[in-house]
Structure 1
């Protein structure tokens, strides 16, 4: 029986790969947060789970390596996992069974907490520091048999600001932005030039070794400040746009709103750049070829705690939120719930009579497919257990994949495999979001 299972899986892999090659289907770049391997219980992501996911991916990106602030070299940020437990080697060993998939190593990705500004230090380290980073990155990539490197550099983020309210307050927000009150890096123009030089030199070194180089633009990093798109595009094989987390309970604790809308959500004076389409158009207007751009889709949602002052309608923008909702039992991170956790909060026989924090949420669908769904539970009379979640589900993820197809883009970057319902806790199919994206891209 086990032999039949693996034979069927192998045939599925070959068929999907063949179909993709013939149809010229867009890429599906799958990010893998290696911390998922160390989680406990239902949240633990095993190599068996990985093998099931790989039948849908064209690229798989291992997260994450970091940068040594003292010498600018690429380094492991979890030596016990990467080296002692040989997880890096186990990961790339899968290349033998999945030769049609490209395996990359990502550096940064908000996982590198060893230093506060090591990425700015890297940019400022000059030719000598750049050379040390390039040589160390190339050595690690080649030693562990990766096909390339992904730069998910942790650059300074836009300052969060309250964007809703009356017209006057919205105008003040824009005015502050353009007059410099929200500048987070006075040397951003210099850093842009330094980053351009680093990417060009890194690309030259990698191409000489037949290695790939990609760029991941993390959420809320101002692309205009740091990326000279026309200059760096020829050096990159593809670019992943982190088009989610536009608003989060950490950055916007008092107001709950869509965290990853496809298009601008009009009304209530929202800022016009907090959406997928705006971010994409920025890169297209910089003459970056559409086929090099991948749209990022998150397998998790952002969750706010609601108060009695938030009301009971749930319609965004929701005022009087009280920051991040409590961490989920699996994801264990305040203000974030993975898709399996969100799905299990929807009304179902197991929670029909549940109360308090286990009570079901009300799901509100988006028939326009423009903004995304949300779910909420109004606070009770004691001001407790209020919850508001913005998220992508398999349906909205599929709609974004259709958007990718309609724009003739490079594909989708999926963040990440360990946040999908990879155990099938809500459906009979494991990885429902990954599947929905893949089948719409075919």
Structure 2
């Protein structure tokens, strides 16, 4: 009896080691520090930050960059980071929130100093890699951060028309897999170099008990740059930018769901433009599910509808004219933060509004598979047409539930400064962040 008991206990320990019990899910909060510099209602203050941190397991401060000459990690906003001591201010919050891990992110589409410095870093060899690693470790330790997030700005997939008849859809697939859409002829070499850099970075950081995470930006073909089975053990977690599959900049003439959870069937859409496909791609490469976080955007993508776009709003919407006019708060054409989108929905203040202030029609997704959209057809003069694809608190909650069901690491929110952090729409501050957190509990 005794030997049988010990055998059972030993077998249980082996099984626990092979199939570890998942820890609490991650809610990785990306913080784009440019939000601190915005004016008016869009300015994200340290008080707002402290409210957000009540929901986060990790805070990722963005963004640092890479010096194109010596490959060292550097600030790309020295006035904010150093002169105004914003990096230090954020790091000091660790004292009040000791359970949160603070990481510094490098890249993230914010580093515009030189176009290909991240590829050049990969090609720089052991000497360049060493300089990057040592400089990154110095800055992370100097400001008492817990680690580094690699959000490298690598070449994107070429934008292409993705809808049409069966023949054109097949041609798009064929070009994708036969190389006509290749944007980096040396991607295999760069993949090996990336693997070496990540392994060396992880080894150096582990000596100081520091974390290393990877963020795969939208429309970067992960197969070209990341040898998933080889780097998984060197990374604490991986954030997938599973949004912006279509954008008005990349796809100006047609509007469609920018971040569907599953493949949207019909109209011969490309099958890999959805969260589930991207996630399964990493799982099939034997990356542990609990290291993968799906990305959710707190902003929507907005196209300009024309008279030729029709008035039904049903996606795919053709004959659009690229990005819609920038919002008063987000100030970027083709992008509206959640507060701006929410306030465009019919409400007492815009009931009788006309022109660019007229309300949009909201179309919900009862299947929870594709996401909601909203639109305003162009008027008789062809003006003020608008079509928006977005995640709202409901769809964000559904994606968080997807992460729970799949036993994933959790969710990465891009980013907290674009949520309705002032409660402008419903008096509920950080509605998307809250919705995700409550579903992950």
Structure 1 residue runs of 4 or more that deviate by more than 4 Å after TM superposition: none
- State the shift of 1:25 in Å: 2.6
* Secondary structure in 2 matching 1:55: coil
1:42 corresponding residue in structure 2: 41
In the alignment of these two chains, the number of paired residues is: 421
2:71 corresponding residue in structure 1: 72
* Secondary structure in 2 matching 1:245: coil
1:314 corresponding residue in structure 2: 313
| Distance (whole Å) between structure 2 residues aligned to residue 214 and residue 23 of structure 1 | 18
| Distance (whole Å) between structure 2 residues aligned to residue 70 and residue 278 of structure 1 | 38
| Distance (whole Å) between structure 2 residues aligned to residue 285 and residue 58 of structure 1 | 27
- State the shift of 1:23 in Å: 9.6
| Distance (whole Å) between structure 1 residues aligned to residue 52 and residue 122 of structure 2 | 35
1:157 corresponding residue in structure 2: 156
1:362 corresponding residue in structure 2: 361
* Secondary structure in 2 matching 1:383: coil
The Cα offsets for residues 28-86 of structure 1, whole Å up to 9 and x where unpaired, read as 00000000000000000000000000000000000000000100000000000000000
1:263 corresponding residue in structure 2: 262
| Distance (whole Å) between structure 1 residues aligned to residue 314 and residue 235 of structure 2 | 41
1:6 corresponding residue in structure 2: none
Structure 1: runs of 5+ lacking an equivalent: 1-21
2:93 corresponding residue in structure 1: 94
Within 5 A, what are the aligned runs for 1:40-439? 40-439=39-438
TM-score (normalised: structure 1): 0.95
1:441 corresponding residue in structure 2: 440
| Distance (whole Å) between structure 2 residues aligned to residue 121 and residue 224 of structure 1 | 19
| Distance (whole Å) between structure 2 residues aligned to residue 374 and residue 434 of structure 1 | 20
Whether the 8 Å contact between 2:364 and 2:371 is mirrored in structure 1 is yes
Q: Cα–Cα, structure 1 residues 173 and 23, in superposed 2: closer, same or farther, change >3 Å?
A: closer
* Secondary structure in 2 matching 1:429: coil
- State the shift of 1:174 in Å: 1.4
Within 5 A, what are the aligned runs for 1:4-15? none
| Distance (whole Å) between structure 1 residues aligned to residue 24 and residue 198 of structure 2 | 28
The Cα offsets for residues 311-360 of structure 1, whole Å up to 9 and x where unpaired, read as 00000000000000000000000000000000000000000000000000
The Cα offsets for residues 88-145 of structure 1, whole Å up to 9 and x where unpaired, read as 0000000000000000000000000000000000000000000000000000000000
| Distance (whole Å) between structure 1 residues aligned to residue 382 and residue 243 of structure 2 | 29
| Distance (whole Å) between structure 2 residues aligned to residue 204 and residue 176 of structure 1 | 39
* Secondary structure in 2 matching 1:83: helix
* Secondary structure in 1 matching 2:102: strand
| Distance (whole Å) between structure 1 residues aligned to residue 235 and residue 193 of structure 2 | 16
| Distance (whole Å) between structure 2 residues aligned to residue 125 and residue 165 of structure 1 | 43
> What's the C-alpha RMSD, in Å, of the aligned pairs?
0.9
| Distance (whole Å) between structure 2 residues aligned to residue 224 and residue 413 of structure 1 | 21
- State the shift of 1:24 in Å: 4.1
- State the shift of 1:181 in Å: 1.5
* Secondary structure in 1 matching 2:104: strand
Whether the 8 Å contact between 2:60 and 2:103 is mirrored in structure 1 is yes
| Distance (whole Å) between structure 2 residues aligned to residue 418 and residue 369 of structure 1 | 25
| Distance (whole Å) between structure 2 residues aligned to residue 357 and residue 268 of structure 1 | 30
Structure 2: runs of 5+ lacking an equivalent: 1-20
| Distance (whole Å) between structure 2 residues aligned to residue 191 and residue 153 of structure 1 | 12
Whether the 8 Å contact between 2:22 and 2:290 is mirrored in structure 1 is no
- State the shift of 1:429 in Å: 1.4
- State the shift of 1:177 in Å: 1.7
| Distance (whole Å) between structure 2 residues aligned to residue 23 and residue 359 of structure 1 | 47
